[in-house]
């Protein structure tokens, strides 16, 4: 029985899935590039906690949060399927999306992903935004530490989001359904 030759995308995906990254580091496959990021710093974690706390207390829909589950997302062109690990993923609790042993899950049912810029802010601002839009994730919240701003991307279509709202830290940012509250960012200052 003849085997079909492996494509470059197959080899890249196989190599990526076989990576053994040091503890605390994250390896992602984004638009055909393996991106390894170091453990987050304290400010990074503080932003995530501030968001999670507000979502748990104020969201109209009861949400679950994960900061560890990776998402399998569509890719553009001949690249292998993207594998991104958002800094945060929110999904309605009733869906129980985070159950199961696989560390990579489909993005169906995810309500919002959150990224806080770190060592490679361009990946969060551009490449991951395109990946999340391709995956049909309704909301992408970007906390941009260099710009001291928060951006909510919404209404995904193909490779991008059709709407976005950027506000400086200190201004409240309206999160639509299923959250339906204003995210306070004063503590981000």
Residue 29 inside a domain? The answer is yes
Residue 2 inside a domain? The answer is no
Q: How many domains does the chain have?
A: 1
Q: Flag whether pLDDT at 50 surpasses 60.
A: yes
Residue 98 inside a domain? The answer is yes
- Please tell me whether residue 50 adopts helix, strand or coil conformation: helix
Predicted pLDDT of residue 13: 84
Strand order in the sheet with 26-30: 33-37, 26-30, 82-84, 70-73, 104-106
Residue 123 φ/ψ, nearest 5 degrees: -65, -45
Q: Flag whether pLDDT at 163 surpasses 90.
A: yes
Residue 70 inside a domain? The answer is yes
Range of the domain at 159: 8-188
Q: What is the mean pLDDT of residues 173-186?
A: 98
Q: What is the mean pLDDT of residues 156-175?
A: 97
More confident of the two residues 155 and 72: 155
User: What is the pLDDT of the chain when averaged over all its residues?
Assistant: 92
Residue 176 belongs to domain with CATH number = 3.90.1570.10
Least confident of 27-31, 139-143, 151-155: 27-31
Residue 104 inside a domain? The answer is yes
Residue 1 inside a domain? The answer is no
Q: Find, among 30, 32, 42, 48, the residue nearest to 123 by Cα.
A: 30
Q: What is the mean pLDDT of residues 35-57?
A: 94
Residue 73: how many other CB atoms lie within 10 Å? 24
Residue 138 inside a domain? The answer is yes
Predicted pLDDT of residue 101: 62
Predicted pLDDT of residue 1: 56
Residue 12 inside a domain? The answer is yes
Q: What is the mean pLDDT of residues 145-168?
A: 97
Predicted pLDDT of residue 92: 97
Among 12-26, 66-80, 102-116, 141-155, the range with the most confident prediction by mean pLDDT is 141-155
Q: Is 30 exposed, middle or buried (0-12, 13-18, 19+ CB in 10 A)?
A: buried
């Amino acid at each position: 029985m003849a085997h079909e030759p492996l494509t470059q995308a197959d080899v890249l995906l196989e190599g990526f899935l076989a990576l053994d990254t040091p503890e605390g580091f994250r390896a992602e496959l984004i638009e055909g590039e393996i991106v390894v990021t170091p453990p987050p710093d304290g400010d990074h974690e503080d932003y995530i906690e501030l968001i999670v706390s507000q979502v748990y207390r104020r969201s109209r829909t009861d949400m679950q949060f994960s900061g560890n589950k990776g998402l399998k997302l569509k890719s553009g062109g001949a690249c292998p399927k993207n594998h991104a690990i958002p800094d945060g993923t929110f999904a309605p609790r009733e869906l129980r999306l985070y159950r199961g042993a696989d560390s990579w899950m489909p993005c169906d049912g995810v309500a919002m992903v959150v990224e806080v810029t770190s060592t490679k802010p361009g990946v969060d601002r551009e490449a991951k935004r395109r990946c999340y839009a391709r995956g049909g994730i309704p909301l992408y919240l970007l906390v941009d530490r260099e710009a001291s701003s928060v951006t909510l991307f919404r209404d995904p279509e193909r490779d991008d989001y059709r709407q976005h709202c950027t506000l400086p830290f200190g201004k409240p940012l309206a999160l639509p359904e299923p959250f339906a509250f204003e995210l306070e960012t004063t503590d981000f200052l």
